[in-house]
Structure 1
């Protein structure tokens, strides 16, 4: 799913496009070098700031690719399918520059940044609460320290915290999509104007269009990323144990992000289209819910229509994950001795 960066209680950076559990990587190092791990521990506030800032910076750097992804995803809603089929990344990028200017690549990025910190806050807090709750389940206490039990707690806790954070901050995600999908005609003039206009035109629940597709994709996205990342990392370490931990994390994380994006991209596309239902006063196209929307797209655009925009999504996985990871680790070091760390 689209980038949703948060931080776990152990400092995991979780990205929906390249959703990777660095937490297990840190636990791996903890077993090998406990003194280094202890030195790298920081408080909740700097950890939260590091995760939020890293996510915002990464999204800003990859915003042009993210906007191209959204523009391709929503093509076909109000366009002739024959013309849509001839589109290309470079042609669309040139169109943006010529018609809207270079700065238009960052349309909707401000709301993405505004979304990042509250999402991270909710994700961080919810993860800790869910983790404590899961550990208190009768039967799990006797398996404390067991690898399988830990995986269960982190996996379920991460999924539930992702669902909670996505639900709590969803209106900002919807506004981001509508701002990014605008081309030359401007209907929404900013975050507050978009929120007010949507409530006026579509009612309060208009802010939650496409939420079902979002929540439906959270679990599979985490499951696929987690499984692929852990499998690749274990195989890599068994065959090349002396390779750099950073290189292993970036490579395995990027591949897990690509696998996750490929599997869940149709849900993300449907989510975007449902978010744009009724936008700018246009008539609704998909009136039969989530599964009806899937059927409508397949009938009118074919199976390939569910993967419109997958290429720019792939292109942003590797740099996006690398920027998040490097920025997060750098900020952790800078903030480790700051006034918030105690």
Structure 2
């Protein structure tokens, strides 16, 4: 096992890991919230940008690029439009961060006890990352769905508050309504988190030896590289998840009024390929990478720093 792997996996108690993961998720989410809203709007946009004639029949905005989309949201909905869905998203990121790092720590410690049948280091990281991602995703999925639906709202308010959204979804769609697209999320997150932690564990020792990176930003740089590689590989499933999350009785009331009716991961992918081509599966990839890189950098940098502070505080308390 590499020194970098041991550093991430074996440091800290369970309480320290939960706190550090939760704080990292909270700070990361607030920083990248505007890019997340832009990404969701672009992912839900189905019409062709290369055919202006087709835009005449479209009811709703036509977004082109990250900056122009951001400007359009601010102009039409105010600066707060860039933080739509931030409350459920913050709740999700705090819970997700705590669960993710706790599950990752628990799984790696379990795998470490499998001697003499221990897995290779890269495979250990993949299995631990996949298990952590699947656990955190399934547990926090209703908050992810609420985040998407709030971010998809235009000037018209479909849900006026977090409580009202929960009540309306429960009444109109039942418990299953909170898990629309969950299968796509789990299918996506397993390879994503596996690839992410594998790449992170591989790049972190290398980045930590680069003297020109100040303030421990080797952790952040490793997080950026790992995130870009993993995100690109599984992006179509992320887009499918978003399309499925806005299905239901409110589908035609979001900022994009022409979202088709999708059913199931396989059928959704098939329909997108048939009607929009391969490019249709990568709508919003650019802003997704712009979002994923700083999000992962902030998350991993904050996690390592907070964990270090917590360990020092507990060590000092024992003196």
Report the TM-score range of the alignment, normalised by the length of the smaller protein: 0.7 to 0.9
Give matches, 1:168-317, under 5 Å: 168-230=139-201, 232=203, 244=213, 246-278=216-248, 280=250, 282=252, 285-317=260-292
Matching residue of 1:87 = 64
- Give the CA deviation at 1:331: 2.4
TM-score by length of 1: 0.76
The alignment partner of 2:250 has SS state of: helix
Asked whether the 8 Å contact 2:142–2:178 carries over to 1, the reply is yes
Higher relative contact order (CA 8 A, sep 6+): 1
**Which of 118, 129, 134 lines up with 2:95 in the alignment?**
118
Number of aligned residue pairs:
303
Q: 2:80 aligns with which of 91, 99, 103?
A: 103
Q: How does 1:160-171 map to 2 (within 5 A)?
A: 160-171=131-142
Distance in 2 (CA, whole Å) between partners of 1:233 and 1:131 is: 17
Bigger shift: residues 245-254 or 184-193:
245-254
Give 1:24 shift. Answer: 5.9
CA separation of 1:102 and 1:279: change in aligned 2, threshold 3 A:
farther
- Residue equivalent to 1:64: 34
The answer as to 2:299 corresponding to 1:324 is: yes
Residue 187 and residue 29 in structure 1: after superposition, are their counterparts in 2 closer, same or farther (change >3 A)?
Answer: closer
The 2-side partners of 1:290 and 1:91 are apart by 30
Contact kept in structure 1, 2:207 and 2:218, CA below 8 Å: yes
Alpha-carbon distance between aligned partners in 2 of 1:132 and 1:47, rounded to the nearest angstrom: 13
Could you tell me how far 1:112 is from its partner in structure 2?
1.1
SS at match of 2:90: helix
Give the corresponding residue for 1:336: 311
In structure 1, the gaps of 5 or more residues are 1-22, 31-36
The 3 A distance-change label for structure 1 pair 60 and 289 is same
For the residue of structure 2 that corresponds to 1:196, the secondary structure is helix
Deviations 1:81-138 (A, max 9, x none): 94388622222212211111001101111111111233234334444554455456xx
SS of corresponding position for 1:141: coil
Gap change, CA 1:56 and 1:337, over 3 Å in 2: same
1:275 CA displacement: 0.4
Q: TM-score when scaled to structure 2?
A: 0.81
Deviations 1:44-95 (A, max 9, x none): 3233122211211111011101110000001128x99943886222222122
